[in-house]
Amino acid sequence: MYLYIKAIHIIFVVSWFAGLFYMVRLFIYHTEANEREESERKILQKQFEVMESKLWNIITTPAMILTVISGLWMMIEYKWFHQPWMIVKLMFVLGLLWYHFECQVIMKQLRHGVYKWSSTKLRIWNEVATIFLFAIVFIVILKSAVSWIWGFVGLILFSMIIMMAVKIYKRYRSKQ
């Protein structure tokens, strides 16, 4: 039974992350539509609202719920609550859940015409999910094989590289 639950968990983790990655990409396009002429802007923003709503309600949130359910099932069934690696993983999962619900807040703000985030800040925000993915996968695969200190240092370095890449891309885009 374990392998079936694990397969379901992995499938919904992938779906959840795909939804989160694409959702923030839609936020970027939604925000950048403000730079268009009014008639085009209205059409684009309406379309982005529809796309965001469908992605959120049909894919992203259901995938999150099924990820959490299948994950809890494995933790309870196989008594992983007291494993040090699982406690660390759960901290990152809680961060990812916060990220998920913060995206929901952004979606509702955009729907009401509130643009608190620039497209550059949204690009950086999009990379936060990448950092969570990186951390969670490494924790699950390596478990206790790596010192937590080195893992933390690696995560910080990875985060810095991603943020630098976003800034480089911003400079590249502004030159075009």
Cite the annotated binding site by residue number: 9, 89
**Contact at 8 Å (CB) between 122 and 24?**
yes
Distance of alpha carbon 121 from alpha carbon 68, whole angstroms:
28
* Binding annotation for heme: 9, 89
